[in-house]
Chain A
Amino acid sequence: MGLLSSIYDSCKEKRTYFGTKMKGSAIDEAGEISKGPAPRKGLKRGLSIMDFILRIFAAICTLGSALGMVTTRETLPFATQFVKFRAVFDDLPTFVFFVTSNSIVCGYLVLSLVPSFFHIVRSTSVKSRVFLLSLDTVMYGLLTTGAAAATAIVYVAHYGNPNANWFPFCRQYNNFCERISGSLVGSFIAVVLFIIIILMSAIIISKR
């Protein structure tokens, strides 16, 4: 423990040395760039605006995913080895979960635009930022869970599983398959945007 603390303190000494001797930006061991108070406020405001814009994008992406999955319906015109000739997203509970989680996250993102706008206007609110970050993390978990579960089912639909005797139904239901595969894309883009939003919120909170 003494070794770790002495290593950390020597890194801190270098940072204070740079901060007093050189004007301008210096990079410490965590990769933060330390600036003066006015550029810091500008950085916070810029990141808050970025956060607002990314939330709008993520809301559009999740809405697109949910709609794309909900409007799937394919009826086969001919007889196959399947008993059922119609595929709807309802048939697989995992896809129902996917639609539900994307809708919830989309609604949350639209509602969170209000606090996000408030954070642009008031750069010094920390408690509400921490609260929004914790809500973001929970919603991010929900979104990633839905997207990953649907991806696993789409994978089985494409490739099947000979060991479990699960037939890949994509061979028969081409349009249905294309639609469910495509609607995953929007969800994963929203996942990436969420990561960026959470990281930016953490950086804004750490700058005081």
Chain B
Amino acid sequence: MSTTIDVPESSKVTKGKAVIVGPQRPGGWKKGVAIMDFILRLGAIAAALGAAATMGTSDQNLPFFTQFFQFEASYDSFTTFQFFVITMAIVGGYLVLSLPFSVIAIIRPHAVGPRLFLIILDTVFLTLATASGASAAAVVYLAHNGNQDSNWLAICNQFGDFCAQTSAAVVSSLSAVVIFVLLIVMSALAIGKP
């Protein structure tokens, strides 16, 4: 009698113990992949938020008179750069919110659920990051080189600092894209091998 009452209780207790010290399968290489995933995610947070901040604070006023009518350049003047700032901020926010799932993947290396969830969301936010980075890169390229055939002048010749900051922001966001691709591939590898 007492054993039948005790057995479900003790099984729950042992399950509770298994949470902390129980015989889980050793993590092996999957745990290493999960730790790498966490570290890369931290790097991607830095890249994404850095890109948003750098672009958001890019503002240059020219002190002298030039052939331009406008002597001020800021990210506000370009719709593409506005899109860039908002999108990289959203991507940075997602990466921060995805850190707990990455931690769960470290603690439970053989679980498929958190990693699959992360792959799905990572793909969506990879799209956002790539789109914003690439469109900003196109505008930055135009600003550097101009285009003779459509009579678009290269504004970088006048606005040097603004140009340098926006270029740095674009580079940072594209490195976040590379990190995203690595994260997706690593999660897929960890899911695939049982």
- Which residues of A come within 8 Å of B, CB atoms? 1-2, 4-6, 8-9, 12-13, 28-32, 82-84, 87, 91-94, 126-127, 129-130, 133-134, 137-138, 140-141, 144-153, 155-157, 159, 161-167, 169, 191, 195, 198-199, 201-203, 205-206, 208
The answer to whether A84 touches B116, judged by C-beta atoms less than 8 angstroms apart, is no
Instruction: Tell me which residues across on chain B come within 8 A of A208, comparing CB atoms.
Output: 194
Encode contact with A along B45-56: 1 for CB under 8 Å, 0 otherwise: 000000000000
- Bound CA span A39–B100, Å: 33
- Bound CA span A191–B128, Å: 11
Instruction: Tell me which residues across on chain A come within 8 A of B136, comparing CB atoms.
Output: 152
Instruction: Tell me which residues across on chain B come within 8 A of A165, comparing CB atoms.
Output: 68-70, 152-153, 155
Min distance, Cβ B136 to any Cβ of chain A, angstroms: 7
In the complex with contacts A93-B141, A134-B185, A206-B68 CB distance below 8 A: no
- Which residues of B come within 8 Å of A, CB atoms? 15, 18-20, 68-70, 72-73, 77-80, 100, 103-104, 107-108, 111-117, 119-120, 123-124, 126-127, 130-139, 141-143, 145, 147, 149-153, 155, 177, 181, 184-185, 187-189, 191-194
Instruction: Tell me which residues across on chain A come within 8 A of B69, comparing CB atoms.
Output: 165
What is the chain B residue whose CB lies nearest that of A152? B135
Instruction: Tell me which residues across on chain B come within 8 A of A191, comparing CB atoms.
Output: 127
The answer to whether A8 touches B104, judged by C-beta atoms less than 8 angstroms apart, is yes
* 22 A-B residue pairs with CB within 8 Å: A1-B103, A1-B107, A2-B19, A4-B103, A5-B104, A9-B19, A12-B111, A82-B150, A145-B133, A145-B134, A148-B130, A149-B135, A151-B135, A164-B78, A164-B143, A165-B70, A165-B155, A166-B150, A166-B152, A166-B153, A199-B119, A202-B191
The answer to whether B134 touches A148, judged by C-beta atoms less than 8 angstroms apart, is yes
Min distance, Cβ B111 to any Cβ of chain A, angstroms: 7
Instruction: Tell me which residues across on chain B come within 8 A of A153, comparing CB atoms.
Output: 138-139, 142
Instruction: Tell me which residues across on chain A come within 8 A of B68, comparing CB atoms.
Output: 165
The answer to whether A167 touches B184, judged by C-beta atoms less than 8 angstroms apart, is no
The answer to whether B77 touches A161, judged by C-beta atoms less than 8 angstroms apart, is yes
User: Which of B117, B150, B189 has the largest number of chain A CB atoms within 10 A?
Assistant: B150
In the complex with contacts A146-B134, A166-B152, A203-B189 CB distance below 8 A: no
User: Which of B117, B139, B177 has the largest number of chain A CB atoms within 10 A?
Assistant: B139
